[in-house]
């Protein structure tokens, strides 16, 4: 009886994918609330809907594409760093990025945060990283929605029964500038080259090779994925 029960699938691929997406949404919202506040839970409903749809799409793709147990890739070694002096330099840069990101969270003045954010974007550009505004806009929108619904201080204006307060808007601006600055600083890490043989170096190698192969492949998305995974 136990063997017969074990052979039966308790959840289908779609069920597992949707449940995983829902759990992911709850965990993300909870982790966000630790910094952004309880107002973040207002977005739990829309995020559950979005993650449910994405879970169904993921399950659909998983049933159409067979993932091999082993992928043979010719990896490049250009992202390895063998020079010990450069390795120390990259470690120093990594520490600078870390302390720059950490220090942002101790600053409350809006004009200072604005200056740091602009400086971070300039540094990101100097590191030859493109500046995309959409991630920052979506981040700011998420923060403002999760923050303005928690009244704090003087009421500036009201829309129906929702009060927009001065303290909530200032808090939203502070948190948005901090996270955007940290995001821009983190982009500078692209100039770092991990030592050869490390897990990080191998991970970057595989990611670069897979992404380059996928972009250069021809055909529909299913064929491009199969080519990337070495099935064709």
DSSP state of 194: P
- Which residue, chain included where needed, has tokens 């994925």? 225
In this prediction, residue 67 carries a pLDDT of 62
Among 166, 174, 176, residue whose Cα is nearest residue 137: 176
List the pLDDT tens digit at each of the 232 positions of the chain: 444 544 556 678 888 888 998 999 899 888 888 877 777 887 888 888 988 999 898 888 777 776 666 656 565 555 455 555 666 777 787 888 889 889 998 998 999 999 999 999 998 888 888 888 898 999 898 888 887 777 676 777 777 776 777 888 888 899 999 999 999 998 887 777 766 677 777 777 777 778 888 888 888 877 787 777 765 5
Using an 8 Å Cβ cutoff, are 178 and 93 in contact? no
C-alpha triplet 49, 177, 120: angle, nearest 5°: 115
C-alpha triplet 134, 200, 207: angle, nearest 5°: 55
Give the SS3 label for residue 140. helix
In this prediction, residue 74 carries a pLDDT of 61
Give the SS3 label for residue 165. strand
**DSSP conformation letters of 61-94:** HHHH-PPPS--------TT-B--HHHHHHHHHHH
Label the pairing between strands 162-165 and 155-159: antiparallel
List phi, psi (to 5°) of 2. Answer: -65, -40
Rounded distance between C-alpha atoms, residue 221 and residue 58, angstroms: 13
List phi, psi (to 5°) of 149. Answer: -85, 0
Name the E strands within 121-231: 155-159, 162-165
In this prediction, residue 6 carries a pLDDT of 45
Rounded distance between C-alpha atoms, residue 217 and residue 53, angstroms: 27
Query: Which residues on adjacent β-strands are paired with residue 165?
Result: 155
Helix axis angle for 110-126 and 84-104, nearest 10°, is: 150
In this prediction, residue 182 carries a pLDDT of 92
Helix axis angle for 166-187 and 133-148, nearest 10°, is: 150
Name the E strands within the chain: 155-159, 162-165
């Amino acid at each position: 009886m136990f063997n017969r029960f074990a052979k039966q699938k308790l959840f289908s691929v779609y069920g597992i994918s949707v449940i995983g997406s829902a759990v992911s949404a709850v965990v993300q919202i909870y982790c966000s609330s630790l910094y952004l506040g309880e107002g973040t839970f207002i977005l739990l409903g829309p995020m559950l809907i979005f993650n449910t749809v994405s879970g169904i799409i993921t399950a659909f793709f998983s049933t159409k594409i067979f993932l091999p147990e082993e992928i043979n890739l010719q990896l490049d070694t250009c992202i390895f760093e063998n020079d010990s002096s450069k390795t120390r330099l990259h470690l120093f840069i990594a520490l600078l990025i870390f302390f720059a990101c950490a220090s942002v969270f101790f600053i409350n003045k809006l004009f200072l945060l604005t200056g740091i954010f602009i400086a971070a974007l300039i540094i990101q550009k100097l590191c030859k990283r493109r500046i995309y505004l959409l991630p920052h806009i979506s981040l700011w929108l998420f923060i403002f929605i999760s923050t303005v619904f928690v009244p704090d201080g003087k009421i500036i204006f009201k829309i129906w029964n929702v009060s927009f307060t001065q303290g909530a808007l200032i808090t939203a601006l502070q948190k948005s500038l901090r996270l955007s600055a940290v995001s821009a600083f983190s982009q500078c890490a692209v100039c770092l080259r991990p030592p050869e043989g490390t897990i990080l170096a191998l991970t970057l190698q595989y990611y670069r090779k897979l992404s380059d192969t996928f972009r250069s492949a021809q055909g529909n998305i299913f064929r491009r994925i199969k080519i990337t995974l070495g099935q064709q």
